[in-house]
Structure formats: C-alpha cells, structure tokens
Amino acid sequence: MLYLLAFILTGLAVGILSGLLGVGGGFIMVPVQYWAMTYSGIDPTIAMRVAFGTSLAVILPTALSGCYGHSCRGCVLWESGLTIGLSGLVGAFLGGTIASHLPAQILQIIFGFMVVAGALRLLFSNKISPSYKPTDNRWYYVILGFLAGFFSGLSGIGGGIILVPILFAVVGLSMIQSIGTSTLVISLNSVGGIISYAINGWGVSGLPPYSVGYINLLQLGLIAGASVPSSQLGVRFAYKWSDRLRYIFIALMIYIGLRALGFFEWLNLY
C-alpha cells in the first residue's frame, strides 16, 4: 500500500510539473521508482534502468495531455516542435541503448551534471523574447532535437529539463512558448527511449514482475493514471504564474541536479 500511494502521489506531482514547466517529470519518477525497487530487493543497476524506461513510458501520455492544453492557448509551435521531436526520437533511441549498458552510478552522475548545466545556462541568460518567428534553417532544429533526445534517452528524462532552457535562452522563445512547445517535443522524444529500453531489456533476468523489457507496466499504470489528468491543472497554473516560471524552473533544476550528484548526502543533509 505504501508503494501504491507513493506512485500515485508521484504521478500527481509529475502531471502538474509537466503542464506547468514543460518537463517530463523524470527527475521525480526515477528516484521514487529506484527507491521502491531497490528496497524490494531488485539489483540497483536493473532498478535504475527500469526506472528510466518506465519514466519515459509515463512521459508519453502525460506530455501529450499537457501539449493539448498549451495548444488550445496557442503556445505550441507545431512545425518547429515536430522537427525537433522527430529528430529527438532517433537521439533518444541511441541514448537509451547506451544507457542500457552503463552502471547505475554513472547514469546518475550524467543526469545530475546535465540538469545543473541547464540551470546555470538559464540563470545567466538575459535573452528574453516575448515572441518568436521560427528560422528557415531546419537543420538547426534537427541537430537541437537529436541532442535533446539523446540526453533524454541517456538519463530517463523527457528532455524538457534541458530543452526548455535551450528554447528560451538560445533559440529565443518566450518562456511560455518554450514550455508549450517542449511538451510536444518530449512526447516524441519519449517514443524513441521507450522502444530502446523495451528492446534492450527484453529477456534480461532479475526484472520486477509485469515488465516488458526495462518498462514496468504496473508502475506505468499507477503513475500515468494520476499524471495524465493532473497535467491539465499544471497548464492552468502556467498561465497564472507565467512571470515567475523562469525562476521556479531554475530553482527546481539546481535542487534536482545537486541531489542526483549526491551533494546533499555529502553535506549530511538527507
């Protein structure tokens, strides 16, 4: 019952943050799933891979729900988002394949460094554009999408935690446009990662029950069942708090990144 409650509450939080910030919520799901599985006796490396794969499987319907809400408000740039997302799908497949053969500690360090780096880039950027006209150079978006997707598959996150700062600070979208477009991109990114984790985990011994490769269907159902409807609540909050979103995003990224790197444990702050 404790695990069930933890997964449902995690789903609610993931959905709200997905709609609010355009992120997949993997930085919440992965630690919770990892804790639950290792506490149940699952090998830590297997647990981390299952957490990554299942996280991406949850992100797909959750991000699509958030994308619908943002699209209704005109804040999803469909042409640019589809280009970034489809190239990201390929990158996510490659990243997921590599992650399926790396130990848990290395994956956690990669995850932490990526999140902190994205937060610092967003913090020190003064490029704030209230509107955006997409460039005609599609290769720019193809490369951007591939890199975001690669890191998505490698770390089990949807890619929004990296993509939103790039869309805002480098491409020049407004924060609310970055968030809306990110929900479209991360839903596509997650598909490549899902396929990769399912294939690479097929037939592996030591998986938890009800797993398809490195994707656990029980955890998927519990978390997604709560995250999909709650993402619409996050979308509503995003338009009420639009002026504060940048700083909320930065604070969240720094905390999650330092936690993944073990900074708080090093200071004996658990």
| DSSP structure class, residue 216 | E
Output the CA–CA distances (angstroms, integers) from residue 60 to 57, 191, 204, 231, in the order listed.
6, 7, 24, 12
Residue spans of the domains in the chain: they are 2-266
- Average pLDDT of 109-131? 65
pLDDT tens, residue by residue, 191-216: 888 998 999 999 899 999 999 999 99
Residue by residue, what is the 3-state secondary structure of 52-67? HHHHHHHHHHHHHHHH
pLDDT in tens, 177-195: 888 888 888 888 888 889 9
Report the alpha-carbon distance of residue 175 to residue 128 in Å, rounded: 8
Q: Give the pLDDT score at 158.
A: 61
- Binned at pLDDT 50, 70 and 90, residue 1 comes out as confident
pLDDT at residue 102, as a whole number: 74
Residue 222 has pLDDT above 80, yes or no: yes
More confident residue, 213 or 124: 213
> What mean pLDDT is reported for the chain?
81
Residues 6+ apart with CB under 8 A from 128: 168, 174, 175
Note the pTM of the prediction, 2 decimals: 0.78
- Residue 240: pLDDT above 60? yes
The most confident of the ranges 17-26, 121-130, 165-174 is: 17-26
Q: How far apart are CA 197 and CA 206, in angstroms?
A: 15
pLDDT recorded at residue 199 = 92
pLDDT tens per residue across span 60-119: 999 889 888 888 888 888 888 888 888 888 888 888 888 778 776 777 777 777 778 767
Q: What pLDDT was estimated at residue 207?
A: 93
Split at pLDDT 50, 70, 90, the class of 133 is: low
Among the residue ranges 1-10, 12-21, 63-72, 145-154, the one predicted with the least confidence is 145-154
